[in-house]
């Protein structure tokens, strides 16, 4: 079947959700071409810009993803923003089906007084910065004082606590940009408080990631034993859910551990809800309401100069596509986009835009497979694209002056980053400035 004849699919978002969808869609017999669009010049989404730099093993999934682009049927269009450079109507004209997988990279608001102060940041801002995201708003202030609070008891909070607690020189062999390491090296923060509003049995941590905190060479970990007291239902949960039981065991093991006089300290605080951030122009304190089950609630103020809220991410709407603003997802039934009771033919979602911000990288594989199963079942009945020529979309982008990054151009950037890595004793070192990235892509 020639490329003009078969079905063509557009995937918006070159992160794990989009690329697992590509993987599933390449197996469909009628599909002769898949084009992947991403707003950034580089592929891999959350694997490149969300997985922490010191979790190199998790990032090895890119080996699976890169093979897709080497198969001959999958093209990459980086540096192309859907809604600006190309819109939904363009995609529906050039493709038989479109899968949106743009993820969720915005911070949920905490909604307490003082949240707007300098020194109050969202986890997405922090993670984007230390991951070298081209749209990062820059580093959080790490030299305003010695104490930071990270709000939330999920894996993102663990990542941030760990990065703040590590000796910056231990990150030299990661892909972290040079300027990020320099800022972390200059940080004056010595005490990092992880603030959980519920108890240890309700924490969303996964045990492997939690254990890492206790293994850091440069930080002592401190937790009060009363914080780890479990009520009857929490005890039952710890006994019946392996993840919860292991988490509680790991934290209990830290209780009696004498501090070793390490340069930094991590304080775990449960049953503590943020009430207010204090300060006139920048954060000087965090007011918490401590309410352990069975105890009278008390108010407590922590002297902190940096507050990072790791309380979950949010997706943003795709222009023209329905959006559930309460759940921050595109309404869908098993991946088919719906507008009320109407199924929008040929439009699908995958990943965090489909189900909300939960699950690890691998969760997206089964999630995307579900979406592509629906697409496969629909394919023969879809009306078909209006513009048949696969190269017409290239012409459209060129005509609009979009400097898109194709796979060859990305490989130039990948090689450039690998060369930067050699100079630093790392496998690769990311470039984070979009203009610099494009200059390498388009020499
Ligand atoms: P998450 O797992 O949903 O955790 C969010 C945390 O924020 C919860 O402890 C939640 O507490 C708390 N929270 C929410 N609203 C709050 C508020 N108003 N005040 C105080 N606390 C509040 O989300 P995440 O950490 O952003 O992670 C997102 C997903 O990515 C997760 O599935 C995670 O496992 C995954 N991830 C995995 C890794 C890894 O595998 N290494 C790394 C990073 C992220 P409640 O439970 O009380 O609501």
User: Model confidence over 237-267: pLDDT tens digits?
Assistant: 999 999 999 999 999 999 988 999 999 999 9
pLDDT 10s digits, 87-119: 999 999 999 999 999 999 999 999 999 999 999
Pocket test for ligand 1, best of 156, 286, 302 (most atoms within 8 A of CB): 156
- Ligand 1 contact, 110 CB (< 6 A): yes
Contact between 322 and 336 under an 8 Å Cβ cutoff? The reply is no
- What's the rounded mean pLDDT across residues 216-237? 92
Mean pLDDT of the chain: 96
Q: Report the 10 Å Cβ neighbour count for 232.
A: 8
pLDDT 10s digits, 311-328: 999 999 999 999 999 999
DSSP state of 341: T
- Ligand 1 contact, 191 CB (< 6 A): no
- pLDDT of 1 strictly over 80: no
- Ligand 1 contact, 195 CB (< 6 A): no
- Atom in ligand 1 nearest the alpha carbon of residue 202: 46
- What's the rounded mean pLDDT across residues 134-154? 97
Residues near 91 by beta carbon (within 8 Å), at least 6 away in sequence: 10, 12, 82, 98
- Ligand 1 contact, 209 CB (< 6 A): yes
pLDDT 10s digits, 395-418: 999 999 999 999 999 999 999 999
Report the C-alpha gap between 237 and 368 in whole angstroms: 30
Query: For residues 103-112, b (16+ Cβ closer than 10 Å) or e, as one string?
Result: bbbebbebeb
Is 181 in a helix, a strand, or coil?
A: helix
Residues near 160 by beta carbon (within 8 Å), at least 6 away in sequence: 123, 126, 127, 150, 308, 310
The residue length of the chain stands at: 443
pTM of the complete model: 0.97
- pLDDT of 3 strictly over 70: no
- pLDDT of 391 strictly over 90: yes
- Ligand 1 centroid to Cα of residue 311, in Å, is 5
- Atom in ligand 1 nearest the alpha carbon of residue 157: 25
pLDDT of 225: 86
What are the strands, taking DSSP E only, across 38-78? Answer: 74-77
* In the chain, % of residues over pLDDT 90: 95
- Ligand 1 centroid to Cα of residue 156, in Å, is 6
- Ligand 1 contact, 314 CB (< 6 A): no
Q: How confident is the model at residue 438 (pLDDT cuts 50, 70, 90)?
A: very high
pLDDT of 2: 66
Report the C-alpha gap between 269 and 196 in whole angstroms: 6
Residues near 53 by beta carbon (within 8 Å), at least 6 away in sequence: 130, 131, 163, 171, 174, 175, 176
Contact between 220 and 175 under an 8 Å Cβ cutoff? The reply is no
- Ligand 1 contact, 313 CB (< 6 A): yes
pLDDT of 116: 92
- pLDDT of 136 strictly over 70: yes
pLDDT of 256: 83
Pocket test for ligand 1, best of 153, 154, 202, 207 (most atoms within 8 A of CB): 154
- Atom in ligand 1 nearest the alpha carbon of residue 156: 25
- Ligand 1 contact, 198 CB (< 6 A): yes
């Amino acid at each position: 079947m020639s490329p003009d004849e078969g079905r063509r699919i557009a995937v918006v978002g070159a992160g794990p959700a989009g690329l697992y969808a590509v993987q599933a869609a390449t197996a469909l017999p009628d599909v002769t071409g898949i084009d992947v669009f991403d707003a950034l010049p580089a592929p891999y989404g959350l694997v490149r810009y969300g997985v922490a730099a010191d979790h190199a093993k998790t990032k090895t999934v890119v080996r699976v993803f890169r093979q897709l682009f080497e198969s001959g049927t999958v093209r990459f269009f980086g540096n192309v923003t859907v809604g600006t450079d190309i819109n939904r109507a363009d995609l529906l004209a050039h493709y038989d089906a479109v899968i949106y997988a743009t993820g969720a990279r915005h911070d949920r608001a905490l909604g307490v007084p003082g949240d707007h102060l300098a020194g109050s940041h969202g986890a997405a801002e922090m993670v984007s910065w230390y991951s070298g995201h081209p749209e990062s708003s820059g580093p959080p202030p790490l030299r305003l004082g010695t104490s930071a609070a990270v709000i939330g008891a999920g894996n993102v909070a663990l990542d941030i606590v760990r990065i703040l607690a590590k000796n910056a020189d231990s990150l030299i062999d990661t892909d972290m940009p040079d300027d990020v390491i320099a800022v972390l090296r200059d940080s004056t923060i010595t005490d990092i408080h992880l603030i959980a509003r519920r108890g240890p049995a309700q924490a969303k941590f996964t045990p492997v990631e939690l254990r890492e905190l206790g293994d850091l060479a440069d930080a002592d970990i401190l937790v009060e034993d009363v914080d780890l007291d479990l009520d009857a239902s929490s005890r039952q949960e710890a006994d019946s859910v392996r993840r919860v039981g292991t988490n509680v065991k790991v934290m209990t093991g830290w209780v009696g551990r004498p501090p070793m006089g390490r340069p930094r300290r991590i304080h775990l605080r449960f049953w503590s809800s943020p009430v207010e951030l204090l300060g006139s122009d920048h954060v000087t304190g965090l007011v918490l309401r401590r309410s352990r089950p069975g105890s009278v609630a008390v108010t407590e103020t922590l002297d902190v100069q940096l507050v990072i809220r790791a309380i979950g991410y949010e997706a943003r709407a795709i222009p023209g596509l329905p959006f559930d603003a309460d759940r921050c997802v595109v309404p869908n039934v098993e991946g088919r986009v719906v507008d009320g009771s109407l199924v929008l033919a040929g439009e699908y979602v995958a990943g965090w835009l489909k189900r909300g911000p939960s699950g690890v990288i691998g969760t997206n594989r089964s999630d995307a497979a579900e979406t592509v199963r629906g697409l496969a079942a629909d394919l023969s009945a879809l009306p078909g694209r209006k513009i048949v020529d696969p190269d017409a979309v290239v012409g459209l982008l060129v005509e609009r002056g979009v400097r898109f990054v194709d796979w060859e151009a990305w490989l130039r950037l990948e090689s450039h980053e690998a060369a930067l890595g050699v100079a630093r004793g790392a496998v690769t070192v990311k470039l984070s400035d979009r203009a610099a990235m494009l200059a390498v892509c388009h020499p």
